[in-house]
Amino acid sequence: MREGQMLRSAVALMMMCGCAAAYVVGCHVEPVQASWSGHTDSIGPYDGVSQTVTCNFDSLSYVELFAGAKGNGGSYHVAVYDSGTVRMWADGTQYRNESWVRFENWNTHVAFTKGKQYVFRFSRAAGSDYSA
């Protein structure tokens, strides 16, 4: 009888864990490595540093850029391009030299298409491209 109770308990535990796994992680995106650094690009009238990303997510919470010496008051801008058209943009501030700049206050939130390529273009002056 004790062996039967253990077996039922084990089966119940496996069922609970199996059901809970679907609620834990929907999509996980690995961070971009330094060896995959962006490239300089010119889209429209402004130059910037760009990173082309093959999308494996459906929405975007934030993006971070590692910046060296704080210049231009630490103001930065990122625009997300889809086939040459700005989909969304955000501004970020660098508070100290050699640090991460976080962009999270987007002008709008759009749905992304998994498997499609998007270009994230960073420029030093915040607000240099508000064509969205």
Identify whether the C-beta of residue 88 lies closer than 8 Å to the C-beta of residue 110.
yes
**Distances in whole angstroms, Cα of residue 2 to Cα of each of 6, 12, 16, 108:** 6, 15, 21, 59
Question: What is the rounded average pLDDT for all residues in the chain?
Answer: 74
The tens digit of pLDDT for each residue in 20-59 reads 555 544 445 555 554 455 556 555 555 678 888 888 888 8
According to the model, what pLDDT value does residue 123 have?
Answer: 85
pTM over 0.75: no
